[in-house]
Amino acid sequence: MVEEPRCPYCVLIDHFMLLSPTGDGRFVCMKCGHVAFPENKIFQCLCSHCSAMRAFEPAKPRFWSAQKSVNW
C-alpha cells in the first residue's frame, strides 16, 4: 500500500491536500507550491513555508550529536 504524499502545511489549513506527481518522483502542492521528494532524503523544498521554517530553525550540524554523546 502506497501512502499518498500530502502537504504538511495545507493539511493544517484545509483538510487533505494531496500532492500532484510531477513525473520525476517529486510531488508538488498545487496550493502553496510545497514539493515533496519521498525517494530523496536530502531534498530540501524551497517553498515559502519550508524556507521560513529553515530560517527560524536552521539544521544543526551533524557532528553536534556526536560530540554530545562523548561522555567524559
Contact positions vs Zn ion (CB under 5 A): 7, 9-10, 29, 31-32, 34, 45, 47, 50
Q: Output the smallest distance, CB 61 to Zn ion, in A.
A: 22
Q: Output the smallest distance, CB 20 to Zn ion, in A.
A: 11
Contacts of 35 (CB under 8 A, 6+ apart): 19, 22, 26, 27, 28, 29, 43, 45, 46, 47
Q: Which C-beta is closer to Zn ion: that of 31 or that of 38?
A: 31
Cα dihedral sign, 8-9-13-17? negative
Q: Output the smallest distance, CB 58 to Zn ion, in A.
A: 15
